[in-house]
Amino acid sequence: MGGSSYRRLLRFLRPYRWMFLGSLGLGVVAAGLEAFSLLLLIPFLRSLFGMGPLLPEGGRNAAERFIDGIAGGWLGGAEGLDALRAVCVVVLAALLLKNLCLFGGRVLSIRTQEFLVRDARNAVHARLQRLPLAFFERGKVGQMVARVISDTGEAKPVVTDALALAVRQLATLAAYALVLFALSWRLALLAIVLVPLVMLGLRPLLRGLRDRFRRTWDDHGELVAALQESLGAVRLVKVRAAEHFEEARFRRRSDAFSRKRIAAATMRHLASPLSEVLAAAVALGLVWIGAAFVMGDGSLAPEQFVAFVTIALRAISPVKGLAQYQAGTAQGLAAADRFLEILDHEPEPVGGSRTAAAPAAEIRYEGVTFAYEPGRPVLEDIDLRIPRGSVVALVGSSGSGKSTLVDLLPRFADPQAGRVTIDGTDIREFSVDSLRRLIGLVGQEAVLFHDTVAANIAYGEDPPAFADVEAAARAAHAHEFIEGLPQGYETVLGERGVRLSAGQRQRIAIARAVLRDPPILVLDEATSAVDAGTESVIREATAALFRDRTVIVVAHRLSTVREADRIFVLERGWLVDAGSHEALVSRDGPYRRLFDHQLAPVSMARS
């Protein structure tokens, strides 16, 4: 996936290509100026040791002719201290321009990489929002958080800083090579033959480095997941006196992450000293051979030889940088592999072209069979009809398929066989967004955000009038306790609504459903987590909402379902009975067995 991941990261770079190319261009100019400033060693040494004109007439080789073409106007006629001063001014000007180019390129690179990370982060988050519910049921939230926040940030240098640095190093090396050829083509040719040996020497070390970093980031995701779990379950941790257990669990994950990161980083950083030693060996070999040219046939003047040696030694740095490029990008590409996996997942279907509109009419499940895993059906051949405006209940023991049956209505999942229809139309023909706008869902656990009460009630809607928010709260019997909060509707709730009781959280959730005014209302174990007194208040809040709506109630409590127009009984994924409460309780069937322990007090009271 290496090349593929790299190409896909480059797509995020496309909107900012001109900014990035600008940073690369400035880096190339800086590389040329650096090589030119080193080449100025020749006139500098000639002026320092009084070796005659700074630039001998006509130039003895291409290097001196190049200096004359660029700075001959400043250096040509100078002598003595004036010559030394002129050389110093030109060197200073070259260094100043080089560093201005480096600064400008760095600023452009920073802007590019931060915009790239922002776009990648937004793309991964947007895809997560569109993935089917089954994806989240299989994965860990902590792993997903790590991929959105950490992995996108780790991948940014691969196509920004690391690439820009590699281009600059390549340009620097190319500029050095041109200068070295201009000074002595024989020595430069020898260098071109020897330098690739440095790269080959590092290949065994770099092989497998990316896989190591991939395992490291997987462990990082596990570490985030463990932290999130322990913080989310802080009440359970404390009531079970399990602080030491959580400390040990987190310490094990943290230790595993650190050890793998150390091993991968050690291997990556070993590339730097090894490449430097190999490059130094090449450079010193060139120095030894170059000295023979100076002392032997005199093809290199002493000041030219010093310039050649200096530039050859300076070339170690870009050679080392290029040799490390693969090691430097291994960590980022391993992180990129992880968040690109999320982008590879197919989003949930957007549905058909039809728009589902209120008022929703009759709901039917026709021969519905569904399985999360092949060969293990959760629902089998379900046929049931829910007339418009009726209140129906789904009952059954845990694992009987009640919540799964409800999940098929808003298309959190699709059946493998059969279909679900609204007024005779297969719901797959409706767009998913329009279908879900017909449905108000209140689950067992009310999901609240760290925001104001009003914002929680109006979640996901265009900013409604405050009067509508208040009306929804009144309908849900929540207005009274909201008014008693410190800032009323503007009170900021703690994370997950921890400042409210379970019953208050549920009434906020009911108010949220009421605000949308859905024609279909689903109460999925909405009162299972509250006491009998709170359940009574919630029943009062929901009773008024049942009018003119089709209501589906999933519950374990007899008090919640006995008023339903029709009750459907599920057992191990099969629809085994249906009827009114009176009809079902009058016969010795699965419904009566399910509620026998709740019916007993009622029977005693009647006797």
Structure tokens at 472: 């929804």
What is the pLDDT, as a whole number, of residue 1?
46
Average pLDDT, the chain: 75
Residue with token string 């959280």: 505
- The set of long-range contacts for 471-476, using a CB threshold of 8 Å and a minimum separation of 24, is 472/511, 472/512, 472/514, 472/515, 473/507, 473/508, 473/511, 475/511, 475/514, 475/541, 475/544, 475/545, 476/507, 476/508, 476/510, 476/511, 476/514, 476/541, 476/545
What is the pLDDT, as a whole number, of residue 273?
64
Mean pLDDT of 310-315: 72
Q: Residue 596: CB partners within 8 Å, gap ≥ 6?
A: none
pTM of the model: 0.69
- Rounded Cα distance, 195 and 202, in Å: 12
What is the pLDDT, as a whole number, of residue 196?
64
Window from 261-270, 378-387, 583-592 with minimum mean pLDDT: 261-270
How buried is 182 (Cβ within 10 angstroms: 0-12 exposed, 13-18 middle, 19+ buried)?
Answer: buried
The rounded percent of the chain whose pLDDT value lies above 70 is 65
Higher pLDDT, 105 or 461: 105
Specify whether the CB–CB gap between 418 and 365 falls below 8 A.
Answer: yes
Closest residue by Cα to residue 13 from 326, 336, 346, 327: 336
Window from 289-303, 369-383, 430-444, 452-466 with minimum mean pLDDT: 289-303
Mean pLDDT of 435-457: 81
What is the pLDDT, as a whole number, of residue 333?
74
Mean pLDDT of 65-79: 64
Asked if residue 57 has pLDDT above 70, the reply is no
Structure tokens at 232: 């989310």
Asked if residue 286 has pLDDT above 60, the reply is yes
Write the DSSP assignment of 143-197 as a string of letters.
Answer: HHHHIIIIIHHHHHHHHTHHHHHHHHHHHHHHHHHHHHHHH-HHHHHHHHHHHHH
What letter would DSSP give residue 260?
Answer: H
Closest residue by Cα to residue 500 from 518, 513, 516, 486: 486
What is the pLDDT, as a whole number, of residue 603?
46
What is the pLDDT, as a whole number, of residue 135?
74
Distance of alpha carbon 218 from the chain centroid: 13
Specify whether the CB–CB gap between 62 and 331 falls below 8 A.
Answer: no
Mean pLDDT of 380-394: 89
Read off the pLDDT of residues 499-529 as tens digits, 9 standing for 90 and up.
Answer: 777 778 888 888 888 888 888 888 887 665 5
Asked if residue 307 has pLDDT above 80, the reply is no
What is the pLDDT, as a whole number, of residue 369?
92
Q: Residue 494: CB partners within 8 Å, gap ≥ 6?
A: 450
What is the pLDDT, as a whole number, of residue 168?
76
What is the pLDDT, as a whole number, of residue 91?
78
Mean pLDDT of 465-480: 84
Residue with token string 């450079």: 283
Asked if residue 604 has pLDDT above 50, the reply is no
Tell me how long the chain is.
607
Quick one: pLDDT band at residue 365, thresholds 50, 70, 90?
A: very high
Torsions phi, psi for 128 (to 5 deg) = -60, -40
Read off the pLDDT of residues 214-246 as tens digits, 9 standing for 90 and up.
Answer: 667 567 666 776 666 666 666 556 555 666 777
Higher pLDDT, 115 or 268: 115
Mean pLDDT of 27-33: 83
> SS3 for 500?
coil
* All domains in the chain, ordered by first residue: 2-344 (1.20.1560.10), 354-438+518-607 (3.40.50.300), 447-517 (3.40.50.300)
What is the pLDDT, as a whole number, of residue 207?
56
Specify whether the CB–CB gap between 341 and 332 falls below 8 A.
Answer: no
Asked if residue 56 has pLDDT above 70, the reply is no
Window from 223-227, 348-352, 353-357, 586-590 with minimum mean pLDDT: 223-227
Higher pLDDT, 323 or 562: 562
Read off the pLDDT of residues 5-27 as tens digits, 9 standing for 90 and up.
Answer: 777 877 888 888 898 888 888 88
Higher pLDDT, 352 or 358: 352
Window from 155-159, 165-169, 218-222, 392-396 with minimum mean pLDDT: 218-222
Mean pLDDT of 442-452: 78
What is the pLDDT, as a whole number, of residue 494?
66
What is the pLDDT, as a whole number, of residue 605?
44
Quick one: pLDDT band at residue 3, thresholds 50, 70, 90?
A: low
Higher pLDDT, 121 or 607: 121
Read off the pLDDT of residues 238-271 as tens digits, 9 standing for 90 and up.
Answer: 555 666 777 777 777 777 777 776 766 666 656 6
Mean pLDDT of 365-392: 88
Mean pLDDT of 144-171: 73
Quick one: pLDDT band at residue 606, thresholds 50, 70, 90?
A: very low
Asked if residue 607 has pLDDT above 50, the reply is no
